[in-house]
Chains A and B, each alone.
Chain A
Amino acid sequence: GENVEQHPSTLSVQEGDSAVIKCTYSDSASNYFPWYKQELGKGPQLIIDIRSNVGEKKDQRIAVTLNKTAKHFSLHITETQPEDSAVYFCAASPMDSNYQLIWGAGTKLIIKP
């Protein structure tokens, strides 16, 4: 079946450095790719998303890139800050579903002071 693989499972970076999290998806017809951030004790919250007709999207310190040919997309966080510490989830929306997302297993991002 369709799946999304997310790497790494844990990422530790020095404050101020950049962090990159990568996901690959199996369904070539997927057309929507959101990223969610889950802070401790809270539910996941959408931070950025991208659709299949766009290759890159930026919002301040975060950006997402999409390579449809290779079927992978990445989250980039620049100038990391302590509040960026959280678990990040990628997801892909299969073409035959308007709402059901296929989720990655999550990346725990640790920002070292």
Chain B
Amino acid sequence: ETGVTQTPRHLVMGMTNKKSLKCEQHLGHNAMYWYKQSAKKPLELMFVYNFKEQTENNSVPSRFSPECPNSSHLFLHLHTLQPEDSALYLCASSQDTGSSGNTIYFGEGSWLTVV
């Protein structure tokens, strides 16, 4: 148990569907992240929120839409995805984004399959 909980753990969706991934952290952290993990590739940082404000969007297509209503919750809204978007989506948190070397705590991930 890392203190970061993701739901659902598995999701299969069609290319025209709309779905959302949810993340909740119980660590009292102020920064939250979405990463994409594909086989045999480095982790790809997608979005960063610090104190509920989005501070980073790494050229992610608009079919991925993040939402951070408070420092403990993070959502990733999915709409009209492509099969190549199938991957493991990891949520993570850290104390904040202001200190070098903050430990990042990951959730167990949501496996997304786009059909």
Chain B interface, number of residues (Cβ within 8 angstroms): 26
Q: Indicate whether B101 reaches chain A with its CB closer than 8 angstroms.
A: yes
Within 8 A of B (CB), among A66-113: 89, 93, 98-106
Whether the Cβ atoms of B102 and A43 lie closer than 8 Å is no
* A44 to B99 CA separation, bound complex (whole angstroms): 20
| A41-B108, A100-B45 given; A93·B101 CB < 8 A | yes
* A42 to B48 CA separation, bound complex (whole angstroms): 21
Whether the Cβ atoms of B90 and A49 lie closer than 8 Å is no
Q: Indicate whether B66 reaches chain A with its CB closer than 8 angstroms.
A: no
Whether the Cβ atoms of A99 and B42 lie closer than 8 Å is no
Partner of B42, one of A4, A32, A34, A49: A4
Q: Indicate whether A14 reaches chain B with its CB closer than 8 angstroms.
A: no
Q: How far is the CB of A33 from chain B (nearest CB, A)?
A: 9
Q: Say what secondary structure dominates the interface of chain B.
A: loop
Q: Indicate whether B76 reaches chain A with its CB closer than 8 angstroms.
A: no
* A77 to B108 CA separation, bound complex (whole angstroms): 24
Q: B-side interface residues toward A, CB under 8 Å?
A: 2, 4, 31, 40-43, 45, 48, 56, 90, 92, 94, 97-109
Q: A42-B109, A99-B102, A106-B42 are in contact. List 16 more A-B contacts (CB 8 A).
A: A31-B100, A32-B101, A34-B103, A42-B108, A43-B2, A43-B90, A43-B92, A46-B103, A49-B101, A49-B103, A89-B43, A99-B94, A99-B97, A100-B56, A101-B43, A103-B43
